[in-house]
Structures are given as C-alpha cells and as structure tokens.
Chain A
Amino acid sequence: MSIASTSVIQIIPRTRRGVELLLLVIAIAVSVGAYVNIGITVQNAVPASTGYYAAGITLLALIAHFALRYRAPYADPVLLPCAVLLNGLGVAMIHRIDLGLALVAEANGRTPKSPAAPQQITWTAVGIVLFLVVILVIRDHRRLQAFTYTAGLAGLLLLILPLIPGLGVNLNGARIWIRLAGMSFQPGEFAKICLVVFFAGYLVVKRDVLTLAGHRFLGLDLPRARDLGPILIAWVASLGVLVFESDLGSSLLFFGLFLFLLYVATERAGWLIIGGLLFAGGAYFAYVTFGHVHRRVTDWLNPWAIDGGQVKLGLMGQAFGGVLGRGLGQGHPEATLYAQSDMIISSFAEELGLTGLIAIILIYTLIVERGLRTALGCRDIFGKLMATGLAMSFALQVFVIVGGVTGLIPLTGLATPFMALGGTSLVANWAIIALLLRISDQARRPQTPAAPVSDETIAMAVQKQ
C-alpha cells in the first residue's frame, strides 16, 4: 500500500504551541496543587519545598516547550503537557510516600531513609536534557533509519547487559537491572527505543517480501514458511528474556512490539495469529518449566495467600481508596511494598480513588492515541512504524504494569511510565516523548512543495510567521 492512497484527513497546518502552553500551565498547576495538598494534610503546613518543586517543574516544562517552539513548532500540542502532568504527579506521590515512610520510621524509633522525591526531580531534569538532545540533534527522524542495524545491535546489547556477571543484579526475582557506579539502571528501557528503531528500519525494507501471499487458510493469508525467520528470531529472543532475566513483562513488551509493527507493515492479520500462538505456547512452556514464572501466576490467582505480599497490600490499598479515594495524604500508601516504584499506581488508586486512577489511565490513553495519530499522519513508512512502535510500547507497558498492580494479569516488573520512582525509565520515557514529538512535527507540518526543503528553511519560514 502506497502512501498516496492513505485516507488521512488533510491537517490544517497550525502550530498550536499556544494550546500546549495553556495545557502546560494546567498540568503544572495540578502537580503543584497536589504537592501543596499533601503538605497541608500530612504536615499541616504548606511545605517549605513548594517553591523549589514548583520552580523546578515550571522551568523544565518551559525549557521543553520553548525547545519545541524553536525546533519542532508543528509538534503535537498534547503530548508534552500529558507527560509533564504524569511526571509532576509522580514526584508529588513519591514525596507523599517519603513523608509516610518517615512517619512510620519515627513511630518505630528508626531514622528515616533519605527522601526519594529530590532524586526523582533530578532524574526529571536529566530526562528533559535528553528530551532537548533528541529535539535539537535529531532534526529529522528519517535520519535514524540509517542506524537500523546499529540500533538493533545496541538494543540486543542493552538487553543482555543484566546477564553479565558482576554488572547485572537480581532484584525482586527479575534480572533486569545493572549496577554501575553505585547507581542502578534498567537497560531494557533504552533497549525498547533501540528495538523500535530497528524493527521500523528493518520492516521498511522487508515488508514487501513479508507481504507476499502465502497460503490462504480459513480466510486468513498466512505467510510463506520461509518468511517466518524474523518472527521466530524475535520469539526466541523474547523467550530468552523471559527465561534468563525472569521478566515476563519485558518479554511480552518486546515480542508484542515486534508483532504489532509486523502487522502494521504487512497489514496481514495472519502474523498476529501466528505470533499470538507462539507467545501463548512460549508462555505456557515457561509457566510449566520455570518456578519463578509459575510463582507469578499463582500469586496472581491467589494474592491473599501471601502474608505481606506486594500485590495483596496493593489490592488492599486500592480497595481502601474505593471510588473517591482517601484524599491525598490521607491514606496509607506507604504500607504497600514498593509503593513508590512498582506499585505507585496502587498508591494513586488509594488516595485519589477509582476516579483518580481512571483519570490517570485516560492520560496514558491520550498519549498512546496521540502517538498513533502521529503515525497516521506521518508521511513516511519509517516514521509511521516508529511512531506506532513507540505509542504501542507505551500502551503495552501501561497495560502490563497497571494490569499487574490491579490484579488483572500477573504482576511483572515493568516501570509505570513517568510516575514510578526510577531514573532510567523516566529518562527513557522523555526520549520516547521527544521522538514522538519529532515525528509529529514532521507529520503536522504543512506539505512542502515538490522540491525538498531543508529543515533550516522551514525553521526560518516558521520564525517569520
């Protein structure tokens, strides 16, 4: 299928940066409001750090905003405010749990641990720096296509990193962390981006071959047997992640990503069926064969059996929150293990209730759908595939972690994008948003005349407006 025949509605070229600024103001106001609210309910005073927090989040958001005005004026106006809101709320909740943990430590006569919120703000700053690098350095996402195989190799290396003895560490039963210079990183978060670039670049080249008609069976066009190679490799690799790193979430994420892109590239549902069957078979095999996978499933089926289990405590927190929530600062999210990281969604569900949780899921949905909207509007296949991959990685990750925390599926150790405590994930997600914005800038920019125009010319033209 060629691009000329796409049914995209002609977009009226408007930059919408003003809308973005307005939405940013709202996102900042909500985040700072949450921070102040927490201080008032927990400490009976507006926290002294409010100024620091408000100035920090405003400064970072505005830097990102002006970078877009300068370098990607037609970028999607909704993505950045959504990301800022999630990041800001996440920091506020981490701060709230810091306070809760300090109270518990005090009551038990222990010295409280150093608070995690400042650390998360620092990582936010690092994330915004990477955001700027992506926006300022990558002027055109199509240039990334040149790095297809480099990205593939990098992605693979990042995936394998935690398995290197002395570098990788086992944490909560999964081996997806590395320890470097006293800090922990989750290389899988960046592997995700590299693999999206690789899958997109690879499929741009191979999609014609993979689209070739194979057998028709039950109304489905099944691919030829000899074209099954790539999907089998992806399958084996993702099973490897499952088996050697004990991480069901990452495994599902990588394989799902590949499948979705394969489907978009070839438009053949047969790939989804084959992939789905392969994954189901692999997952069942792992469930039967590997104790840690088995345990995840039994924990999921009966979370109540484990005393002090994080899922159980999390579910209790969510139930305690009910429909309207206890109110910020008025629940006990600190009673849940990993309340700031894996279980942060449960902390929100407890204090903001079902209402707040649904609002957060809707913000995630908005990011996913704006990402897919970008893919629809994008004029090149590589960009389409990349935007789809980034958006769907977001969707899958949110589904896997929120589903795990709320008891819909077995819990696996994926980070809740933008909210969970953890530097790698936060920084990687800012890079994803930057890439989506970069592609969307291209997609929403007015159609240029036949002659190719350099980015500089467009930027100048925009500045003249």
Chain B
Amino acid sequence: MNSAIRRLAVAAIILMLALMANSTYLQAFRAGEINGRNDNNRVRDSQFSVNRGPILIGSTPIAQSKPSNDRFKYQRTYASGPTFAPVTGFYSYLFGRSGIELTMNSELNGSDPSMAFRRIIDVISNRPQQGGSVTLTVNGAAQQAAYSGLAGKTGAVVAIEPKTGRILAMATRPSYDPNVLASHDLQKIAAAWKNLSADKDKPLSNRAVQETYPPGSTFKLVTAAAALSSGKFTPETKVSSPAELPLPQTTVPLVNEDNRNCGGSNNATLTIALRYSCNTAFGSVGLQLGPDALREQAAKFGFGERPLTEIPGVAASQFPGDPNQPQTAQSAIGQFDVRATPLQMAMVAAGIANKGEVMKPYLVQSVKTPDLKTVSETKPEALHQAVSPEVAAQLTAMMVDVVNNGTGKPGRIDGMQVAGKTGTAQTSKERPPFAWFTAFAPADDPKVAVAVLIEDANIPRSDIAGGTLAAPIAKKVMEAVIGQ
C-alpha cells in the first residue's frame, strides 16, 4: 500500500506545482497585459493615489498633485486650468485622461521603464511611488496672450518656434476647467462631464490640433510654394487675375472676394496676387500646376500626417484625392475639400520661416525624475524640406509684402518685419466664414510662427475677415514671444 501512497504524494506535489506554475505565469508574465486593460479599476485607483509629478512651464507647475485627505491621497490641481487645458488635458477618476496627462502618463506616475531604477530604490526603501515631472515647450506669456486674444470667440491659436518645432502656444476656445473633472466628488464630475459633452461648442475638443477646417486663402501659401518650386513661376510672373475666372466643365466661375480684378490688373504678378489674396490668380495657377503638384507640396508641409504625437487624437490635414478641374481651382485657394488644422497652417508658416525646412512639432521639452535627474530631453527633428531655401526667401518676401501693403496690415509689429497671410474661408451661407491668419516674425530671423483660426466671433458676417479678426491675436502672441 505504501508505494501507492508515495505515488499519490508525488501526484499531490505535481498538482501544487501546477498551481504555482500557473500563478507564476499569471502574476509574473501576464501581469503587464492585464494591468493595461481599460476596464481595470484597481490600476486606475492606485494610479489615482500616486503622487503624480507636475507638468511644468519653465519651473512653474501648471498641473500638480497636492496632498488631500480623502481616499485618493492626492488632488490633481491645474493653475489657469482653462488656459492650458488643451495642452495638459485632464486627469479624471471617471473619464480617464487626455492631453499630456494621457500621453505622458507613465512618466508622470513614475511607472515608466525609464524610471525603473528609481522605482526599485523606492520599493527597497519602502517609499511610495512618486512620479516624474514633464517640462513643456510652451511659453506661458504666449499661451496667455493666445487665450485672452480668443476671449468671446470660438477658435484656436498655435505658435511654433520655426527652427526647432517647439510648440510655444496651443490655445482653444471655448475651453473647460480640468480642475472640475479632476475633482474627487464623483457626482460633481459626472454632472460636469455631461454638460461639457452635451455643449454644442465642444469645449472638450482641442481645436488647435484635433479639428480640421477649410484653410481658405492661407492655403495660397502652399499653392505659391508649389508654383515657385515648379520653376515655371517667379514672384514677378504675371498670372491671369480677372474679377471672374471661368472654369472648365462648369458655368460657375471663380470670383475674387471683392468682385474686382486683382489690384487693378487682369494679369497681376504672383506677389500682387498674394498681397490682395486674389482667388482668380491662384485658381488659375492651381489649374496650371494640377492637383498632384499641389498635393505633393501640401504633403511636404505635413498634410496627410499626424506629426504631433504628444496630444491624442491629432487630426491629419488633407488635400482632396482626385479633384476635377473646377475642384482643383477651388482647392488651390483652400476651399472645396481642403482641410487643415491650425497646427498645420502654423507649420506651413514655420517651414517657410525656417528656410523651407519643416520641423516636427513637439510639446515635451524634458522629463525629469522626482529628484530632478533628466530622464529624456527632446531633440529637434526635421520632418521635410518643403521648399528650397531660395523659394522660402521668395515666399517670405511676398508674405512681408502682404503684411506691409496688403490684407495682413493688422498683423504689423512696430520695429520689425512680419511675414503673414490672411484667410477667410466660406463654407455655406448658414455658418459664418472661418477667419485665418498665419504669420512669422521677425521676417529676417524668425523666432515664432503662428496660426490663428476664428470659427465664430459673434459679429456680423460682413465684418469677418482674417486680417481684421485673426491678425491682431497673432500679433499679440508674436509680441509675447519676441518681447521676452
């Protein structure tokens, strides 16, 4: 009998070993996958109780965790919440995270592999997990100027440092207060969330990067870039610019905004055409170049890509796939199905400003451990050479002319040259046109490129123009950057 009992003893040990092996697989090897599940409330609760690192602008925290006396131990607080909301995003118990809070989550809560060493030390010394800090590229004064400039309006502003791609400002209106969503009063958050998501003005949407709009005349910069790069045009090349341009395949002509010809001429130069933003001139240039050349040029500025990875849900700007001739002419002036984010139009200006080289835009300057050791530092990265330095110089001169003599006059800054382009995109009679202004300054040594979009300003339709509505905001933002 004993040999049978011994065999059972071995069998019992095998059963127990099977349990241990299975648990080892589960807890040591599959744990990461299970902890990463969206429906894992434990992980959410524990992360909510971590001393999360701050999000900084320079050395000023715009988001930080302060000790609280409830079950979560720390309360996330946002200084000037609505101003920085499109960048920081929110960190909510019920509704997850957005913005930098989402994309830099593992760095902020200290669980990132880059902080593994630090975490091991914490475990050994029995200290609670502490998050790292994320320093942004955002310029506080520029962000403030952008946000106040948008007061009372619906719209967005993006400012970029042309040489590096650092995002200096990213503002949107209407905004929301992330403090409300980060509250520990769950009923209050649920109610606030309900209001925010039901609001037809979409305050939760980051218009600067997550929405696309018809870029209107600001897109003429892309058309001009394609024309100059083709070798068939110079800034002085005369193009057909009547009050009405008859289009093939349709009886509807392309018309200029003021129903007049371009600066008094039916054959204006490219420079004059840009100065007065003549639709007929750029429509005919577009027809000559063809949709493929326009699309390629647009792609070189970043259309079709999602170049910014630090904000979730960034939209790709687009140029229509296969337009016919009238549609090509419309597309050449930024109408029809051309769609662009304000970020994209800022990148167009920044590319021209940076001798034709478009830099990859970024928001995170550096990540540091709680004891202020730098974990990572973002290096500027080139995205594309959109145009040659020569073409960039020609475009810059044309844009300076727009601000000095043309539609962009409200964007002028005392004591320096500003290069810019206005845009007023009509979509339908039901909604007001989109007012745009994109610019950079100083023109000879650009420090900042900016794009401003006004979706709605609650003013009469006839008063809406990129120059009068959007340019003053761009000016304030550029002054904020350069004035420092």
Contacts and interface: CB of A to CB of B under 8 A. Distances in A.
A260 B26 CA distance: 30
Interface in B12-55: 12-13, 15-16, 18-20, 22-24, 26-28, 30-31, 33-35, 37, 39-43, 45-46
B13 A369 contact: yes
A318 B33 CA distance: 12
B252 interface: no
B34 A315 contact: yes
Nearest to B70: A107
Interface string A306-326: 010000000111111111101
A317 B27 CA distance: 9
Interface string B103-146: 00000000000000000000100000000000000000000000
B71 interface: yes
A361 B19 contact: yes
A320 B12 contact: no
* Interface of B (DSSP majority class): helix
Interface in A391-405: 391-392, 395-396, 398-399, 402-403
B458 interface: no
A335 interface: yes
B39 A354 contact: no
Interface stretch (B2-10, B230-238, B382-390, B441-449): B2-10
Contacts of A326: 46
Contact of B27 (A264, A267, A319): A319
Contacts of A369: 9, 12-13
B42 A335 contact: yes
A361 B16 contact: yes
Contacts of B33: 319
A326 B3 CA distance: 43
B8 A264 contact: yes
Contacts, number: 136
B1 interface: yes
B482 to A, nearest CB: 51
Given A365-B12, A406-B26, A332 B71 contact: no
B31 A384 contact: no
A148 interface: no
Interface stretch (A1-9, A188-196, A243-251): A1-9
Nearest to A307: B39
Given A263-B4, A264-B1, A399-B15, A322 B28 contact: yes
Contacts of A375: 5
Given A263-B8, A364-B16, A402-B19, A7 B2 contact: yes
A403 B19 contact: yes
Interface string A233-266: 0000000000000000000000000001001110
A368 interface: yes
A301 interface: no
B12 A6 contact: no
Interface in B174-188: none
A146 to B, nearest CB: 21
Contacts of B6: 372, 376
B1 to A, nearest CB: 6
A460 B16 CA distance: 41
B24 A354 contact: yes
Contacts of B37: 304, 316
Contact of A6 (B2, B16, B19, B31): B2
A46 interface: no
18 contacts: A263-B4, A265-B1, A307-B39, A316-B42, A319-B34, A331-B42, A350-B42, A354-B23, A354-B27, A362-B16, A369-B12, A388-B8, A398-B15, A398-B19, A403-B18, A403-B19, A407-B26, A408-B18
Interface of B: 1-6, 8-9, 12-13, 15-16, 18-20, 22-24, 26-28, 30-31, 33-35, 37, 39-43, 45-46, 71, 123
State the 5 A-B residue pairs at the shortest beta-carbon distance, nearest first.
A319-B34, A354-B27, A319-B31, A395-B12, A408-B22
